[in-house]
Structure 1
Amino acid sequence: MPGANERALEKAKSLPADALILDLEDSVAPDAKEEARKRVAAAVAAGGYGHREVTVRVNAPGTPWHEEDLRAAAEAGPDAVVVPKVDSPTTVRQVEAALAAAGAPDSTAIWAMIETPAAILDAAAIASASQRLTVLVMGTNDLAKELRAEPVPGRTPLLTALSLALLAARASGTAILDGVYNDVQDLSGFEAETLQGRQMGFDGKTLIHPRQVEPCNAIFSPAEEDIARARRIIQAFEDATSQGRGVVTVDGRMIEHLHVEEARRVLALAEAIAGR
């Protein structure tokens, strides 16, 4: 949500999203940076966003606004600070130190944007650089620019980078969000890319328009048949265990413990969604 747009900050309170990024970076013109910083800090402090995680995207390290953005965010105490252009674990540690020096609550996390070749090649170290770092966010627009990749359906030029970032996130136990889809009029293209992200293993997708929220929620939510199958798997495994049987099949397929763990994850996700 553009930090300089008061109407957008208010509208965010009604969106059925899990998290909000109140933006001080790309969506804010240079001459509006200071006013946007004040608006966003006030919005975070005032609250009213319900269950939604409220994050602040600061300007990138090395820009004239970065340090003051971090100080203002630390004082406001959002759920997280989203940091663009994180190229190395050193950047994460510098942000961590700046937040601590400015008095940020321990609960304020760091979300690192992975959007350069250097970041992809150092993603594992970035993901493990700080206990404050809880989420990696793919900056696919900037990454494509840096790679000189063409924006084609299916994102073939980006798949290696996306996969490497996913590996880093899973190895470190960090959540990871897919990048944005730019054409807000093309819902079929958006849905195809969102489904691809879910199938690859992303935990969610970053969005740039309210009309993208509902289809994204639908795609990342377990379908009724997935929930029913998860319950069958868990029940069959528990029945087999209680009877001392080592071989379990559900719907004609062999079930191992890893399938039970995935079934429990599906049910936990469905229950969390139902709780909203």
Structure 2
Amino acid sequence: MTISPTSSPKARLHRSELAVPAIRPELFPKAAAGAADAVFLDLEDSVPEAEKDRARANAVAAVRDLDWGRKILAVRVNGLDTPHFYKDLIALLAVGGDRLDIIMVPKIGDPREPFAVDLLASQIEANANRARRVGLGLVIETAKGLANVEAIATASPRTESLHLGVADLAASLGMRTTAIGGLNPDYATTAGLLDPWHFALARVITAARAAGLRPIDGPYGDFRDMEGLEAATRRARALGAEGKMAIHPGQVATLNAAFQPGEAEIAQARRVLAAMEAGRKEGRAAVALDGRLLDIASIRQAEAMVAKAERI
């Protein structure tokens, strides 16, 4: 299978990221043909301990043999603190072929951990003559990881994305909830509910953007609650998230629509670029459009929106 080169892997389209248990190979073709921008085959939380070897073999075969089109294809391996991590990495990179885009590493807590993954991956790729370097997606889902997220974000040049893992983070922080994402009726003021994930998500997004990475929000666990999913997605988008994890295929369309610039937004971005280009030719660094001042920051925002629209 020929893989289209990309000038900047960190600029991949990543509105929706569908989780698929690697123990369920009958789901793989549907995920490959579905609308999600990214799919990750999960070897970690969704796989019972006794099934780890079988799930790994399923993932390797799927990466090597299925046509995943232009999707971001990832595998979430088991954590570095398990006896499965090194076997996952060796199998995927040594015999899984070149199609795999990203290794997602869970429960990253220390910047030395992605450095160690990078080192081992480099050795495996060199010995396997792998045609291209795999990227890393680091899942921030512990108190330690959140406290160290800025250093983690810059620990390896392989890293493409930071992902917020809300369920494990809630447990690590001792949050009084059993839900996966969403609001908590206890976290409120007289004015209404607050978002208990605001601080964690804002910090992950800031660390990711500062390092040039894609920030991906965690999943919304109640896949029947589309209204709650849409509201959570709007909050993540407002803070600057690039996309959001999905635990069910039925959530993908909502995520794609929410993280996709609208036609009016794209048209306005193009107007901004045209106005700034006209100002540049006249020797001006700032211009007015529709009664609002535009400057170099306006160009960056408009260029980012147009580039995303073109990737879509």
Q: What range is the shorter-chain TM-score in?
A: over 0.9
> Which structure 2 residues correspond to residues 215-230 of structure 1 after superposition, within 5 A?
215-230=254-269
Structure 1 residues 146-155 or 185-194, which shifts more?
A: 146-155
> In 1, distance between residues paired with 2:197 and 2:227?
20
Match of 1:8 in 2: 27
Is 1:72 aligned to 2:94, yes or no?
A: no
Q: Give the RMSD, CA atoms, in angstroms.
A: 1.6
SS at 1:93 equivalent: helix
> Which structure 2 residues correspond to residues 144-155 of structure 1 after superposition, within 5 A?
144-151=170-177, 153=183
How far off its partner does 1:54 sit? Answer: 0.9
CA contact (8 A) 1:180 1:208 kept: yes
How far off its partner does 1:117 sit? Answer: 1.0
SS at 1:134 equivalent: strand
Is 1:50 aligned to 2:69, yes or no?
A: yes
> In 2, distance between residues paired with 1:37 and 1:134?
23
> In 1, distance between residues paired with 2:124 and 2:276?
51
Question: Which amino acid counterpart does residue 23 of structure 2 have in structure 1?
Answer: A
CA contact (8 A) 2:285 2:296 kept: no
Unpaired runs of at least 5, structure 1: none
TM-score normalized by the length of structure 1: 0.94
TM-score normalized by the length of structure 2: 0.83
Structure 1 residues 82-91 or 249-258, which shifts more?
A: 249-258
Unpaired runs of at least 5, structure 2: 1-19, 184-192
Match of 2:120 in 1: 98
Match of 1:205 in 2: 244
Match of 2:199 in 1: 160
How far off its partner does 1:65 sit? Answer: 1.5
> In 2, distance between residues paired with 1:71 and 1:222?
39
> Which structure 2 residues correspond to residues 14-25 of structure 1 after superposition, within 5 A?
14-25=33-44
> In 2, distance between residues paired with 1:125 and 1:242?
41
How far off its partner does 1:247 sit? Answer: 4.6
Structure 1 residues 182-191 or 70-79, which shifts more?
A: 70-79
1:176 aligned to which of 215, 232, 245: 215
Query: Percent identity at matched positions?
Result: 37
Match of 2:168 in 1: 142
Q: How many positions carry a matched residue from both structures?
A: 273
Name the structure, 1 or 2, with higher relative contact order (CA <8 Å, separation 6+): 2
Question: Which amino acid counterpart does residue 288 of structure 2 have in structure 1?
Answer: T
Larger helix share, 1 or 2: 1
CA contact (8 A) 1:149 1:157 kept: no
CA contact (8 A) 2:286 2:296 kept: no
Question: Which amino acid counterpart does residue 111 of structure 2 have in structure 1?
Answer: P
